[in-house]
Structure 1
């Protein structure tokens, strides 16, 4: 088989490009409200309990097939709406997340961010809003899915195509433990095989599960379940084989498809210099906007004041608390200040949640962070 050239390197998500400075102006709010009322995608949004996902395509909000929930292309951006009820209440509550793939374009993730606020406006302005970055998602986001799969390219890549002569081979990497297994598409490079993990080579109608000699039970079981799902999606036409690293000959057909030469990936890992909680206050009580450190270490709900906006940084997640009696300017620019704050830290790739004081009891990730 002819050798495949190295994969083309795409521009990764640049968190400095989020353009959040546009958020919060009166003009932007008015445009958002007008747009929300005429956005076809929101027609049935938030009317029933459950999860709903949209993908951004050419500035448009498009439905994402339910069968593909949990699968995300690293070149795309998505909006995820979780509608739920609390025990003993018939009222509907909402969490809205916009998810940014590491190769999503500025236009795509800018539209996703804008449309997230637009959807929140459409649902009455009370939903909790979250920013999620590929491989740095919040615990709350991950709980929505049995597993999360990162796929290369965009949605047009045709993950569910079943015609063997049209299908692009993919190598999937399964890594994790009983707390969760992450699935990520990686280059089909034999040097990328990890003996401590499990891999699936997906050829469309042929599926190979390669078990590294030191892989764990959770990774192997997750891979087996994944193959069962793929077979079901492909109407039972696909066949599979399980390969154990120690007993698989180098001449096996599996290795003939691992002919890509992968370029080194940019390091987007995040290792904070410290893990101490920090609480900041945003206030204009003095007549001008003032941003100051309020407290470090243990933080409780009593440390928040309903008259101001607070940024609570746990170093693995950032929460924007908007007091119910904040001024219009404080409320409008809360997310912008959070973004500006992150630009000055060593940890940009963290989830952000924007929470109204009156919705705190529904912000489970926020209350959990306070209790930690």
Structure 2
């Protein structure tokens, strides 16, 4: 496998969602959707389906790789389900954006998400997911979400194990879920509280920090077993190393001594005053003849605060909901996602999950966010 070329981290403030959900685009997609081969088997029965954007085209993602996402790619995830008292199929469709996904890939994923929504007769609830900021609903689809560095063309199964470029994975979480992320192979990124897997092809090491919890250890062991099954029958040796027991030197011998500039390890952890203010509700209305976007309420929000004549943007600071009333005008509906996107880009939390909901089709996440 050749070395990875570092992609430019996507500048979310450059993106444009003006097309998202407009009537004009829906008219075009209605005819285009019927010719998209990827959608011919979409949503026909309950379950998860995933596609990856490759050169502006929708390609099927292998089921054995569900839960694995390359940070240089964009994906579409469809969850098809039924309620207990009905046989009618319902849907949640998410477009997932990797940290280094290009603007063209991001735009294509969003565009194709709307097309899929149109193909399924506007029944799905649409969601935007950004790597590292996924919604609780999205995370619930997978036992583990794994972030792999690079793009899917980098490969992680097609490469022969004996020629495999080593990867280091970080396991962090608890009983609510363990996240798996590929990190630089450097000792300075290893701490005593988590579990790490060093995959060098025909040899796999699991390093258990002395403070690692049971969930991290178990999930890592499961991950090792899945890696072995992906080596196409090759004789893969696995070794579990425990910091408390010692003998972990062999693990650290495989780590690099200099930073890999192909990785961006910067993390944003500061919580701004804006986030501490609590939920905010905004109204988008053209009742006066022109579109106006205004703050409606700060603090606890209840369903009675919404009006079916307008669009509302409900920001919980962990997730953002675009609520579209049944009596909204064409202009209000067409501009809903654009205003929501522009609002987020000026906030201190631009990467939080976004869901677009129609009045009467609110989901569980929305209902749980209501506190008044």
> Shorter-chain-normalised TM-score: which range?
over 0.9
Partner of 2:302: 300
1:34 pairs with 2:31: yes
Count of residue pairs the alignment pairs up: 364
**In structure 1, what is the equivalent of residue 90 of structure 2?**
93
CA contact (8 A) 1:319 1:352 kept: yes
Instruction: Determine helix, strand or coil for the equivalent of 1:141.
Output: helix
The alignment's TM-score, normalised by the length of structure 2, stands at 0.93
For residues 165 and 54 of structure 2, the distance between their equivalents in structure 1, rounded to whole angstroms, comes to 22
Residue 280 of structure 1 contacts residue 295 of structure 1 at CA under 8 Å; is this kept in 2?
Answer: yes
Q: CA separation in 2, counterparts of 1:98 and 1:25?
A: 17
Specify the alignment match of 2:224 in structure 1. 227
Q: What is the Cα deviation at residue 343 of structure 1?
A: 2.0
The whole-number CA distance in structure 1 between the counterparts of 2:22 and 2:50 is 27
2:369 matched residue in structure 1:
369
- CA distance in 1 between counterparts of 2:77 and 2:257 reads 33
Cα distance, 1:99–1:58 mapped onto 2, change above 3 Å: same
5 Å matches for 1:42-53? 42-53=39-50
The worse-fitting range, judged by mean Cα deviation, of 71-80 and 224-233 is 224-233
1:82 shift after superposition: 0.4
| Structure 2 gaps, min length 5 | none
- Residue matched to 2:204: 207
2:18 to 16, 21, 37: 21
Distance (whole Å) between structure 2 residues aligned to residue 67 and residue 327 of structure 1: 44
Alignment partners' CA distance in 1, 2:8 and 2:298? 36
Once the two structures are TM-superposed, the CA of residue 204 in structure 1 deviates from its matched residue by: 1.9
Q: Is residue 98–residue 130 contact of structure 2 (8 Å, CA) maintained in 1? A: yes
Mapped contact 1:53–1:80 kept (Cα < 8 A)? yes
After alignment, is 57-66 or 299-308 more displaced?
A: 299-308
Is the deviation greater in 284-293 or in 236-245?
Answer: 236-245
Task: Give the CA deviation at 1:351.
Answer: 0.4
**Equivalent residues of 2:284, 2:291 under 8 A apart:** yes
Post-superposition offset of 1:9? 4.5
Cα distance in 1 between the residues matched to 2:355 and 2:106: 16
2:280 pairs with one of 259, 278, 287: 278
Q: 2:255 aligns with which of 251, 255, 258?
A: 258
Uncovered stretches (5+) of structure 1, i.e. residues with no partner: 1-5
Q: Deviations over 1:125-164 (max 9, x none)?
A: 1211000000100011000100100000111222224622
Q: 1:259 Cα deviation (Å)?
A: 1.6
SS class of match (1:310): strand
Task: Find the counterpart in structure 1 of residue 162 from structure 2.
Answer: 165
